[in-house]
Chain A
Amino acid sequence: MIKVNTREIVLDILFEINEKGAFSHQVLKQALQKYQYLDKRDRAFITIVTEGTMENLIQIDFIINQFSKVKTGKMKPLILNLLRMSVYQLKFLDGVPAAAVCNEAVKLAVKRGFSPLKGFVNGVLRAIARNMEQINYPDASEDLVKHLSIVYSIPEWIVEQWIYQYGAETASRMMKGTQDKDHRLCVRCNTSISSVDECIRLLKEEGVEAERHPYLEEALLLEGVDYLGKLEIFRKGYLMVQDVSSMFVAKVADPKEGDYCIDICAAPGGKSLHLADLLKNTGMVEARDISDYKAELVQSNIDRSGFTNIRAVVRDGFLEDKDSENKADIVIADLPCSGLGVIGKKSDIKYNMTIEKQKELVKVQRCLLENAVKMVKSGGTLLFSTCTTNQQENRENFEWLKNNYSLEPEDISEYFPKELGVQTGKKGYVQLLPGVHKMDGFFISKFKRISEE
C-alpha cells in the first residue's frame, strides 16, 4: 500500500514559493485544488505547515543556523526547504512527534535523490528537537531590531522603518499584531438587499454562526465556514468578503443618492459594490481596473449582487482620461502600495517588498492620483487610501495632494468609532495599524475639490 505523502506536497509548494518566486496563496490554492480528493485532515495539514513555515521563515532560518555548519544561504534549496518545514513542525505543531518529523524528513531527502545528505538532515533536525527550549535568541536590550526581526519573522528593514515611523513601543505592538490570528471570516452585508439581522438569521439556517463586528454595522464575522461558495446566502449576493478596514472607504466616501462615482483600482470590487449598496439603486459606480482579468473579477461579483447601478470597466489609471474630467462626485483611489498593513495575512509581502520598491510605488501613486484628481468635479470628493503603514506612501502623499492641488482635507472623524482612538480624523486622514487597531493596517484620507479661482 502507498499513502499519499502530504509532507512531499508541502515540500513542493515551498520549493515553488521560495526558489521560483511564486505567490504562496496561489501555489497553495492550486495544490489544494489538485489534491481536493485528500481528506480534510490532510488538506488542513498542508495549509497549516505551508502558511506557518512561510510566516515564521526568518525565525526558522535563525534556528537552523544555530545548529547547522552549512548555513541556510549555502544549502541545496530542496534540503533547505525540507529543513524549514520540519523545524516548523518541531517548534509550532503539537501532536506531531519529533521522531516522526525527523524520520519523514530523512525519507523525503532520500526519495528526492539526496541520500548522501540523509545523515546531515537527521543530525540537524535531531539536534534542534533536543535543544529547542535552550535556543538563545538575540537579546532585545542588545539589538532590538534583530530581536524583533527574529521573534516576529519580519525583515530588519521593516522593523527599522516601523520603529523610525512609529516609535519602538508602537512598532512592537504592530509586530505582535501581525501574528494575531482571527480565523473568522469578515464579510459585509449588502443592506440594500436585506437587513443585517436577516443575514444573521439566514446564515444561522445554513449552519454558520455570525457575530456583528464591533466597528461597523454592516460587517459580520463568520465562524464555521468551510467553503463560502457553498452558502446559498453568498451565492445570492447578500454578502461580500471584505476586511472591515476596507469597508471604511465607502463609509467615509459617504455617497449621496444619485452620485456618480469612479473607483480607479477597483478589483475585486468590494469597495465599489459597497458604494453601489450605499447608493440604494441610484447613481452609478464605474469600477475600473487595468486588465480584462481584473475587470472580469469585478464583474463576477457585480453579477452575484445583481446591482444595476455599477459597471466594470477596463481602463488604465495611468492614462489621462479627458472624457471623465470634472465628472465624478466621488473618486476612489485605493492604490497599489507596499502592503505592509496586511503582512500578517499575506506573508509573501514582507519577504518581497523592498525600500526601493516603496520609492517606486510613491511615484506610481502620484501618477495615479494626478489623474484621479482631475476626474473630481468641483465640490466633489477624492478618497485616497492604501493598505500600507509606510508614511511616505500615506502621509507624504496626503501632504503632496494638499499642497499641489485645489483640495481641501475633510473631517472624517465621525465615521470612526470612538474606541479606535483615531485623533487625526479631523485633519482629514486616519492611519490604522495592525496590533494597535483590531484590523488590517490601512490609511484613508478624504478631500473636497474646490474650484481653482
Chain B
Amino acid sequence: MALRNIRVMGDEILTKVCRPVKENTPKIQQLIDDMFDTMYDAYGVGLAAPQVGILKRIVVIDTDDNPMVLINPEIIETSGEQTGQEGCLSVPGKSGEVTRPNYVKVRALDRDFHEIIVEGEELLARAICHECEHLDGHLYVEKVNGELMDTPDSDYMEEE
C-alpha cells in the first residue's frame, strides 16, 4: 500500500486542467492503486488524480463498496437536482452545501481501458460531478450555497 500526499487548496496544481490518458501503462495501474489506498486512508468517497499531484484525467470513487475507476470521464447526461453537504479531501475540516444534478450518466474507460457507461443517482451522482470538476481545475468551494462550515475533527481517537 502506498499513500500519496493529498494536495490542499492553495496548491496551484488543483487549478490546472488535466491531460487525457493515452495508454495503459504499469505506472498508471500503480497510480490507480495508490489513489484508492490514499482515498480509503483518508475516509474519502472519491479522489481525482490532481489531488495527488498528477495532472491526468483519472478519478476513483467508492460511495457504496463498489470501487470504480473512471479514466478520461465525460459526463454525457444529467437530470434532476439535489442539494446537500459536500466535503473535499483537498479542503480539510470544511464542508458546504452544494446543488448538483440528482442523476448523471458518464462515459469513461475502466482500469483495463474498456469503454464503460456509468449511471449514478444521489451520492454517486454527486461524487462523479465533484471528481470530474477536479480534472478541469475546479473545487466545490466555488459552488457552495452560503458559507463553508467547519466539520468535526475526524481523526481524534477514542479516549479510554
Contact = CB atoms under 8 A, between A and B. Distances in A.
Interface of A: 1-5, 8-9, 12, 37-39, 42, 76, 78, 99-100, 103, 107, 111-114
B65 A1 contact: no
B88 interface: yes
Closest 9 CB pairs of A and B: A2-B87, A1-B46, A113-B157, A1-B130, A39-B84, A37-B149, A78-B158, A4-B85, A1-B127
A111 B158 contact: no
Interface of B: 42-47, 61, 63-65, 83-89, 95-97, 123, 126-127, 130-131, 140, 146, 149, 151-152, 154, 157-158, 160
B97 A37 contact: yes
B154 A111 contact: yes
A2 B44 contact: yes
Contacts, number: 66
A114 B126 CA distance: 30
A198 to B, nearest CB: 37
Contact of A37 (B95, B130, B160): B95
A9 B78 CA distance: 32
B151 A4 contact: yes
Nearest to B146: A37
B11 to A, nearest CB: 17
A109 B91 CA distance: 24
B82 to A, nearest CB: 9
Contacts of A103: 65
Contacts of A2: 42-45, 86-89, 95
Contacts of B47: 1
A1 B83 contact: no
A99 B88 CA distance: 26
A153 B82 CA distance: 38
A115 B44 CA distance: 17
28 contacts: A1-B45, A1-B46, A1-B87, A1-B127, A1-B131, A2-B42, A2-B43, A2-B87, A2-B89, A2-B95, A3-B45, A3-B85, A4-B87, A5-B154, A8-B152, A37-B85, A37-B95, A37-B97, A37-B149, A42-B84, A76-B160, A107-B43, A111-B154, A112-B157, A112-B158, A113-B157, A113-B158, A114-B158
Nearest to B127: A1
A42 B87 CA distance: 15
A79 B158 CA distance: 10
Contacts of A100: 64
Given A37-B96, A42-B85, A111-B154, 13 more contacts: A1-B44, A1-B89, A1-B127, A2-B45, A4-B151, A5-B43, A37-B97, A37-B146, A39-B83, A39-B84, A39-B97, A100-B64, A103-B65
A414 to B, nearest CB: 55
Contacts of B131: 1
Contacts of B126: 1
Contacts of A114: 158
A38 B130 contact: no
Interface centre among A1, A39, A103, A111 (most CB of B within 10 A): A1
